[in-house]
Structure 1
Amino acid sequence: MMTTEAPSEFNNLETLSTADLLAGMNQLDHTVPQTVARALPQIERLVEAAVARLGAGGRLFYIGAGTSGRLGVVDASECPPTFGVPAEMVVGIMAGGDGAIRVAVEGAEDDAEQAWRDLQTHNIGAGDVLVGIAASGRTPYVIGGLNAARAAGLATGCVVCNAGSAVAAAAEFPVEVVTGPEFITGSTRLKAGSAQKMVLNMLTTATFIRLGYVRGNKMVDMKLSNIKLVERGERMLMDELGIDEAEAAQLLQQYGSVRAALVARL
């Protein structure tokens, strides 16, 4: 039996108070960072592969189904506003299409050929990276996509939550975060989902830092798409240049980005 499907350490949940339910979930959640820490060497190898491919002009693709697929879409969608990269540089693809982000498409994850067809609509090629996300480690959509991508010369990675899985076997750079039984038996949107989110955070954040999209500890290439981010950009310029708010606002308006303003001044 997969450990993500093993019986919960808690039982008779319907009889517990709200306080006890929350305490139990929190107790299990404390194990997630420790599990991710044990996978750091695997994550490092995947990051290095991503840095090499994206640094040479490649792209990063995620494929997955259900919660795993949604996590990939979320991580991909957050890269352009955070790092100022083009939307096509990190792409999340879900079994069942974009509609499955909100409403499950039954059986979509069982088609082992569909992922590669979905990826080909993006003109995917050997210079790109494909990461399959599957808590179970056995999703046919993900396995098929990884096998086809690896045969085509792509760098392939995965994030799974069971040891010795078929998904991990299909990937060149597997990341296994074995999170164990869930609070509700089999509900991998809980610990497994949290672990996967942490790994994806590490993957894209470390990759784009290595590629030069962060200065010091600041998102100097972020898109100034709302008032909060404009104000953050102004604070960055004030801190870096020792100027007042009015001058920072003027520079940001003139150059359109924190990086451009810093380059002009420094």
Structure 2
Amino acid sequence: MDNVLTFKRGRVPLLISMPHAGLRLTPAVENGLIDEARSLPDTDWHIPRLYDFADELGASIVAAEYSRFVIDLNRPSDNKPLYAGATTGLYPETLFDGVPLFREGQEPTAAERDRYLAEIWGPYHRTIEQELSRLRDEFGYALLWDAHSIRSHVPHLFDGRLPDFNLGTFNGASCDPELAQRLESVCARFGDYTHVLNGRFKGGHITRHFGDPAHDIHAVQLELAQSTYMEEFEPFNYRPDLAEPTREVLKALLSELLAWGGNRYP
């Protein structure tokens, strides 16, 4: 497979990961999807556009090209569940609302999925690993921001309405606690938005696997409610009137991340 990801190297010790922004499908996946899934409803829509200011910050960026319906890059390769209760796996079998993703008997074969693991999942994770290693070698530390979004109401996955900004640090294991506290303080300055730390979304495999504060790699996941920047249902339009204020919060969060790193590792 080619073009499984896009990567741009930056000039500051920050890597932004976008594992669920991809829209490409393999023939086996595309041919087997139920009609309701063909619009790719569980995509982290418009995340590259929402974060396009990251170039100005000087961040490195890695983004998936293939849909999570092919393989979920934020799940471990052994497919062990990350959350209690309803969730999706390395090879999603259902939509977020619990409806089967594929027509009966039309799922990709085990051999095809092994190829997705080797040729899509593998390169994405190697890119993160190599870039974090480069950043730590150059700056003495590395910061990883795993950028996600989801509908604000998904009853099959969580009760009620999701807070707008959902920060995850794997209950404090993936980054320095002072950094998490400072990010919460940034969110609190923007009173029009709600936020939570380590609520329903504590960080997926990328945050949990790569976050290693004892070795100067600090990882944070942000699960952003899509109601803050887009229409949550088809045709999933980007809403600049909503997105621009939300981008100001994102800029403040990433600026604080970099400022904390510069103070912590002068």
Instruction: State the TM-score, normalizing by the size of structure 2.
Output: 0.26
Rg larger in structure: 1
Q: Which has the higher helix share?
A: 1
Instruction: State the TM-score, normalizing by the size of structure 1.
Output: 0.26
Q: Which has the higher strand share?
A: 2
